[in-house]
Amino acid sequence: MNKRKILERALAGSKNISFSDMITLVEGFGFRLSRVKGSHHIFTHPRVVELVNLQNVKGKAKPYQIR
């Protein structure tokens, strides 16, 4: 699925987004995978101070992380 469609689904309130689609979305905004520790995938961005922490749960992104 392309980034625009993933973003549209997330903005529409879908809680059923695959983990791989969520990674595609955050990477589309310029974030890069910094490290993985257990189930935690930590993404960083050169212009954003905050880290983005995503967890894969049975192939899906956690609903609170999609909001």
CATH at residue 12: 3.30.920.30
Nearest alpha-carbon partner for 22 in 42, 7, 44, 38: 7
Mean pLDDT, range 53-66, rounded to an integer: 91
Mean pLDDT, range 49-60, rounded to an integer: 94
Tell me the pLDDT band of 1, cut-offs 50, 70 and 90.
confident
Q: How many CB atoms lie within 10 A of CB 61?
A: 23
Tell me the pLDDT band of 65, cut-offs 50, 70 and 90.
confident
Predicted confidence (pLDDT) per residue in 11-41, tens digit = 998 889 999 999 999 999 999 999 999 999 9
Contacts of residue 24, Cβ cutoff 8 Å, sequence gap at least 6: 1, 3, 6
Domain range for residue 14?
A: 3-66
pTM: 0.86
What's the number of domains the chain is made of?
1
